[in-house]
Amino acid sequence: MPVPEVLFVCVHNAGRSQMAAALLHHHAPGKVGVRSAGSTPAEEVNPVVVDAMAELGVDVSRRFPKKLDAETVEASDVVITMGCGDACPVFPGKRYLDWELDDPAGKTLDEIRPIRDAIDERVRKLLTELLPEG
């Protein structure tokens, strides 16, 4: 069975999409292809997001924001947008989901934890759909 390819997209690829990609990889290493990108990538992953993920034992300190391109979208089976609006190209036959989540930019660790936990919950639910056998 082919490995499903998932792409997480947000504007800066510095917070939500980085957390989602890291969590999906953490929960299903090698079982799902995971990418993240941003329509306007930031210089670095939000340092407070790095701290929030470290609390779960997930290291995102060496990750960096990447520019969204059409090839990456085309290579994905599922594209999950997180507040990037119309910046994400749409290809027929792809599954698109939009996760409404607060942007962690400028937020404290206490404010980011609930965003991280909401992403984790959605990632776990997505995994049950992508890998129903368990």
Q: Catalytic: which of 10, 11, 19, 119?
A: 10
Inter-residue contact 25 to 7 (CB < 8 Å): no
81 is catalytic: no
Q: Catalytic: which of 84, 112, 119, 123?
A: 84
| Residue type present at position 42 | A
108 is catalytic: no
80 is catalytic: no
Q: Residue 22: which of 12, 32, 109 has the closest Cα?
A: 32
CA dihedral 95, 99, 104, 105 (to 10 degrees): 60
Positions marked catalytic: 10, 84, 88
